[in-house]
Chains A and B, each alone.
Chain A
Amino acid sequence: MLEATKSCIKTAFLSTLPCLLLFIFLFSFITPCASRDRPARETTIVFKHGKIAGDQRAFRAIIEEFERRNPGIRVRDEVLPSSTDEQHQFYVINLEGRSSDFDVISMDVIWVQEFARAGWLRRLDHVFPPRERELFFRGPVDAVTFEGGVYAVPWYIDAGLLYYRKDLLERYGFSPPDTWAELVRIAKEITARETGLYGFVWQGKQYEGLVCNAMEYMWSNGGGLMADGRLDALREENVRALAFMHDLIHEYRVSPELVTTATEETTRHIFGNGRALFMRNWPYAWNIFEREGSAVKGKVGVKALPSFGGGPGASTLGGWQLGVSRYSKHPAEAERFVRFLTSYSVQKELALTVGYKPTRKALYLDPELRKAQPFIAGLRRVFETARPRPLTPFYMMITQVLQPELSSVISGLKTPEEALRSIQRHAGRILEAGEPGRGR
């Protein structure tokens, strides 16, 4: 019976297959053409961005507000994969191929230099004139400026913060730590007495987040990668900082091993379920912790990251900027959209609903915003002093060298000296490609 059915299927399949194959193949050439003939009554601009972590309806409402104020312009927003590396690859491949499929793009702070150098962005000096730039934080403005021209407008800002369980610290009579040594000491004492609690969670997976974390340790120890515009990675301060990261996991044991595969969301889940004492993360997490039903609602404190010597800590600058593709067919409308999204009222709306921290300094004094999110006043200082990763068009290539080297340090495969030496070699070679002599 089975055999008969099988041979029936087989014959039917094999006889119609060739015709079907050819038909499908030829059909494929028709469909793309069909979708392109759409009557243009109004201009549609395409806005590409990563997934909105917060309230998506609120974001849609903002877009609809723009469409209301600008009849004749429609905005189609398209979401990219949530991994920033994939978003970057998408942009590189499409802008390389001069695609006009999108107009406004949302860029990570570390991409703008590269995109500007490659000639993919329209200059936005007229959209973002010097007196406007005064109203924004310095860090992002520097990041969007390349060789004197402005190529993007800062949209929202991010910086690394230390989250802590203030209820647990109070219970054991500790105040939030100002130095890394204090943090280790507090974590050890409290985790010894509490069960099911990790000491300190952070992002250690081999990706960009790891670089953000590592830079914070290196900077807060007086080190860093660049010195006087040249690459200088093999410094004692850096060695000490990276060794500390490794020791957090393997020596002091305040960070669990899973940190080596953790991203922002992993640590956010752990801390949000009440299973960690300290966490390093971006500001977005706070909104989620204060939602109804959160296990740590009302128990979370936020402050600037500790340092090694008791001086000010360091925070990596993050955030996203809006740019207009040079191959856009509707640059005027696109620029109008960018101006809208970065205006005072929209940035405030986004801060209140979606949780994006504004790039306009004045908003941190806004009474309505301060009432809704009291801790935002304290963030202003952090954002003002947040430090950018090396501002060079070659950064995206250099980070491909940084990520595995840093990962091998925290997993104990390489010593900090070996890793930093390797970084100096490989990153130096990359920098040399563009400006011979720069890297060595």
Chain B
Amino acid sequence: MVTGSQKGIRSVLFWAGLVAAVAYCLGPFVWQFITSLKPAAELTMLPPVLPTRPVLENYRSVFAARPFLRIILNSLVVASGTTFFSLAIGSLAAFALARLPLRGRHIFLAFVLSVSMFPPIATVSPLYIVIRFLGLRDTLTALVITYTTFSLPLTIWILTNFFREVPREIYLAALLDGCTPFQIFYRIFLPLAAPGLSATAILVFIFSWNEFLFALTFTSTAASRTIPVAIALFPGVHEVPWGEIAAASVVVTVPVVVLVFVFQRRIVEGLTMGAMKG
């Protein structure tokens, strides 16, 4: 039996725990945001923790002196392209694996799972040689192809599970009506699995927005550079321009934060679906 005071203590502990958890997760961002508002002179003075006069010069110089907008656009293009192709190819395969009579289905699924465990470093050197040979170095296409491949396992896995949830009767009924498998896929299953599709889309988008190793290796100029590489290779006159890096980080984080807040339920669904059926 839990007494009233015990309940009170538990409640306090619970809320304290929550506050601590949120502070732990969001604290660094808050500090980065504060840093981005500090003028250059105050960056190297601590105290004061807060800027005496917050300025926007860091944000200005991030966008003025460098092709930052172009870089953001690059990331957007690559992430969108990856999401589109990954969903297109992956959903087709997932449908086949879920519903169509296919021999060797388990082997293929096992293969797909093993691909997701590939260490990227193991494939980067031959891929670099191939990309170089095809003249695709420093292009966004190279990134889209690579990212699509590495997000296919996740896509196929999640979507296969979602497609399996669609009742078998619907599939059989459509067959009886004389639909071709592709029609069944396109007209019936895709709409029914919309939540799964959006969950996957967001996860794939986040993955390719954040990818670093391949972007670092395959790109070299601002023409095709993506955000993670730009942030890692921030140029500067003196040592490291912490104020500008902070501003750039904030700019890059904000859309992700918005995305997460709006779609958090979907994201959770996607992640747990992928894990639980695994």
Contacts and interface: CB of A to CB of B under 8 A. Distances in A.
Is A in direct contact with B (CB under 8 Å) within the complex? yes
Interface of A: 6, 9-10, 13-14, 17-18, 20-22, 24-25, 27-28, 32, 51, 53, 79-82, 86, 90, 93-94, 96-97, 99, 101, 263, 265-266
A101 B138 CA distance: 12
A188 B76 CA distance: 58
Interface in B232-278: 233-239, 262-263
Those 9 A-B pairs whose CB atoms lie nearest each other, nearest first: A21-B80, A81-B235, A25-B81, A28-B77, A93-B220, A97-B137, A265-B239, A24-B80, A21-B84
Nearest to A28: B77
Contact of B262 (A10, A25, A27, A266): A10
Contacts of B77: 24-25, 27-28
A349 to B, nearest CB: 21
Contacts of B262: 6, 9-10, 13
A25 B84 contact: yes
A242 B18 CA distance: 52
Interface in B131-147: 132, 137-138, 140
Given A13-B262, A94-B220, A82 B80 contact: no
B160 interface: no
A265 B137 contact: no
B54 to A, nearest CB: 25
Interface band, chain B: 20 to 34
Nearest to A87: B235
A334 to B, nearest CB: 19
B89 to A, nearest CB: 14
Contacts of A97: 132, 137-138, 220
Contacts of B83: 21
A388 to B, nearest CB: 27
B267 to A, nearest CB: 13
Interface in B206-251: 220-221, 223, 233-239
Contacts of B237: 51, 53, 82
Nearest to A96: B132
Contacts of A10: 262-263
A183 B73 CA distance: 55
A22 B84 contact: yes
A71 B221 CA distance: 29
Residue among B235, B236, B263 with max Cβ neighbours from chain A (10 Å)? B235
Contacts of B239: 263, 265-266
A82 B235 contact: yes
